[in-house]
Amino acid sequence: MTGRIVVGIDGSAESAAALEWAISRARLGGNELELVNAYNPPASHDFYGHHGMATGQQVLWFTEHSEELLEAARARVAEVAPDLTAKLTSTMGPAAYVVASASAGAELVVVGRRGLGAASSVLLGSVSNRLTIEAEAPLIVVNEGEAPTSGPVVVGVDGSEYGTAALRFAVAEAALRGTSVRAVTAFTYPELRFPADHELIDRMRAGVEAEAAEIPAQALAALGKAASSVAVEQLTVEGRPAEAILAHAGDASLVVVGSHGKGLIRRVLLGSVSRQVLNDATRPVAVVDLPEA
């Protein structure tokens, strides 16, 4: 893989971790980095407390601060990987919108878990949350601290086209890193609301488990020759999907989940599995959408 990696820069520790991850990834794939900072000067107030536009001096201050942050980030890139190219983009506007706009045509978008904006937010962060919906490339969310450089790529596979897209991305990333893939499929037994004999329950449970075990194999078959480039461990786990993925991601170099589409559907479904993985994972997480037709 080669292409442009967009990195959200805001001066926070989480943003610094995202930059380090992006540098490491770019060195594997020969990518160009685009370092992006968004700034929003506060509105001014008159004698009576009325809100107004930011003054020209305020805009200048925020512009200079934005450029200083980006220059510091570029200096870090030059220090660690002088062979990489780093483009700087400083734009006034909402952070999620600015980064999402820069993501058009990019290979990856990388942000810190709580960075990218004043007060960031509780849990995942408003900007990171919005980017799971608005980014036009796979989104990587990185925790503060040193990102892992070894370990399998763990991916949730659920039998949907989104799960297959996530598996395809995981295989490609694992091949680039020279590591393996751990494909996790979760299943639960339906709860019977009427009395049933134990033999029937056992047969039903065996059937559910057998069907779940076929899901990763079918997804791998859909990938064709691409799936043969790395070793893939297939795990079928009883339990809730997000909890199953997280339980087997403690040694992961990257955790991959499908986005389950854009718009309202994506907002709802992301909240159940992908959002829990994003919120609770201690490893970098990739949110992958379907490839454009």
| pLDDT < 50 positions in the chain | 1, 44-50, 52, 115-124, 261-271
CB atoms within 10 A of CB 48: 5
Task: Give the sign of the dihedral formed by CA 39, CA 40, CA 44, CA 49.
Answer: negative
Helix (H, G, I), strand (E, B) or coil at 185: strand
d(CA 234, CA 182): 6
d(CA 169, CA 184): 14
Nearest Cα residue to 220 out of 181, 194, 247, 275 = 181
Distances (CA, A) of 120 to 7, 15, 88: 16, 11, 22
DSSP string, 72-129: HHHHHHHHH-TTS-EEEEEEES-HHHHHHHHTTT-SEEEEESS-SSTT--STT-HHHH
Q: Domain locations in the chain?
A: 4-142, 153-288
Q: What is the DSSP letter of 265?
A: H
What pLDDT digit, counting tens, does each position of 55-96 carry?
566 678 888 999 999 999 999 999 999 999 999 999 988 899
Q: What is the DSSP pairing of strand 254-258 with strand 285-288?
A: parallel
248 exposure class (CB count in 10 Å sphere: 0-12, 13-18, 19+): buried
**Superfamily of 4-142 according to CATH:** HUPs (3.40.50.620)
Paired residues of 8 in beta bridges: 36
Phi, psi of 276 (to 5 degrees): -65, -40
- Give the per-residue pLDDT at 1: 45
d(CA 99, CA 108): 11
Class (C level, CATH) for 153-288: alpha beta
- Give the per-residue pLDDT at 224: 87
Residue given tokens 């849990």 in the structure block: 123
- Give the per-residue pLDDT at 185: 92
d(CA 235, CA 213): 8
Same fold, 4-142 and 153-288: yes
Tell me, what amino acid is at 152? P
